[in-house]
Every structure is written in structure tokens, then in C-alpha cells.
Amino acid sequence: MIIAIDGPAGSGKSSTARAVAARLGITYLDTGAMYRAITLRCLREGIEVDDTAALATAVATADIRFEDRDGATRIFLGGEDVTEAIRSEAVTGRVSDYCAPAVVRQKLVEEQRKIALGRSIVCEGRDIGTVVFPDAELKFFMTASPEERAKRRQLDFQALGVVKTTVKLVAEITERDRKDSTRDLSPLRKAPDAEAIDTTGMTLEEQVDYIVNKAVAYLQQGNGTVPASNNLNP
Ligand code: DC
């Protein structure tokens, strides 16, 4: 079974997807982390977003892996644990640019499909229900007001020791949404058959319960089983 969760930054999809996967005992895949890892590599190596040849090589040779450690998923780039580095302001500020070119998207979508082969998965991103897994059994599109999303981001930043005003965060989120929704390839968009969930005012527990209940109902209708394999690296 594939559960696709899309939505803009701060809509609650990452925390929800992670918790839904844990509750169902299936794999969680954060596709945004993969785009962030490529962005980190390019920034470190001075690869410009319009240098298609260098970008193609960087993506083709990037060894991105996920590992579960102490109940948390960590991401590795060429063997280095970059879980914290990919959340830096520098990466967050540029990821919408580096995730847009076709050479990046084609390769990462291929990797995402490989990870899902033969296993049940909760996959979250921007184009999961529309492009990566258009046949996903369950699709959700999570939204929340910009103010609510800014508040959630503020908590994420506080945990990193970064102080930002709500006004600045709303502006940053709105700009990232604009870039993610207007790019030519696989823009952020609700799939026609996805269920919209407005998480403004919902607790994380309510969001998780909502999707878990839908998944359980789906499975109880005899629509499939949950395979045992949860290994993230194909
Ligand atoms: O979910 P996130 O904020 O970590 O995602 C980082 C960026 O990656 C986001 O600005 C858009 C891009 N992204 C994408 O284009 N397609 C996906 N499936 C996931 C993320």
C-alpha cells in the first residue's frame, strides 16, 4: 500500500507522515530530504543551478541513503550523516531552485520509486500523488493557513537556535510556495483524487488519527496487506 501525502511547507505533512508510518509499521519516505541533500551537495561544491552538466553528475553520483537509528530516520550523503545539515537556512533558502531542473527530478523520482518497490510506504512531498505514485491507494493533500505554518516553522527554527519573526517566516514560506507551485515540472498541486485536509487548528494526533483510520478502513475492505520489509535502501 502506498499512502501519498503532499502539501506546502509547514502544513504538518512531515510529522504526520512519520507518525502514520510508525503507527502502521511501514516505511516512511521524506522526499524533500532527498532534494535538500542534492542542494547541500551543490552548495558545498559550488555547482550553479543552471550548470546542467555539473548538476546531472552531482545527482547521478550522489549516494543518498536513509537509516533508522534509535527510532529516528537519519539521512546520509556519501556516507556522511547530513540529517541536521540539510535543514540549515542556506539549504532551505535554495532548495526550491535546485529541486526544479529535470535532471534532478528525473533521477530522484526514479530513486523514490525504487525505494517503494515491494513494500508499503508513507511517502510525503510535493508531487507524490500527481507524479511519483499516481496510483497510490490513498492520497492526501495537507494545507494550513500561512500564519499557522509560520508558527510551526518558528518552533522548528527555535529548536535549531535560530530566531525569526512571524512576518519574515510568512514571507519566506509564501515565496517558497510560489516557486514550488509555479515551476514547470511537477509543481506542488493537489491530485484530483487526493483528499484535502486543512490542518489549521488540528493537533498532530488528530492529523495522524485521521489518516491511520482511513488506512485501516482501506485495508479492512480487503484491499491489501502490509508487507514486513521496511528497509529503506533498495
Ligand atoms: O518538504 P521540504 O520542505 O523538506 O522540501 C524541501 C523542498 O524540496 C521544497 O521546497 C520543494 C522540494 N520538493 C519537491 O520539489 N518535491 C518533493 N516531492 C519534495 C520536496
- Please name each of the domains of the chain with its CATH number: 2-215 (3.40.50.300)
Select, from the ranges 83-87, 173-177, 222-226, the one with the highest average predicted confidence (pLDDT): 83-87
Q: Does 195 score more than 90 pLDDT?
A: yes
Q: Is the CB of 64 under 6 A from ligand 1?
A: no
What do you get for the CA distance between the two ends of the chain, in Å?
Answer: 17
Q: Does 160 score more than 80 pLDDT?
A: no
Pocket test for ligand 1, best of 126, 130, 133, 173 (most atoms within 8 A of CB): 126
Chain center to CA of 86: 12
pLDDT band at 231 (very low <50, low <70, confident <90, very high): very low
Q: How far apart are the C-alpha atoms of 63 and 76, rounded to whole Å?
A: 8
Q: Which residues have C-beta within 8 Å of that of residue 210, sequence separation ≥ 6?
A: 197, 202
Q: Nearest C-alpha to atom 13 of ligand 1 is from which residue? A: 32
**pLDDT value, residue 100:** 94
Bridge-based pairing state of the strands 80-81 and 72-77: antiparallel
pLDDT band at 225 (very low <50, low <70, confident <90, very high): low
Q: How far apart are the C-alpha atoms of 99 and 104, rounded to whole Å?
A: 6
Q: Is the CB of 126 under 6 A from ligand 1?
A: yes
Q: Is the CB of 148 under 6 A from ligand 1?
A: no
Q: Retrieve residue 38's grid coordinates.
A: 542534492
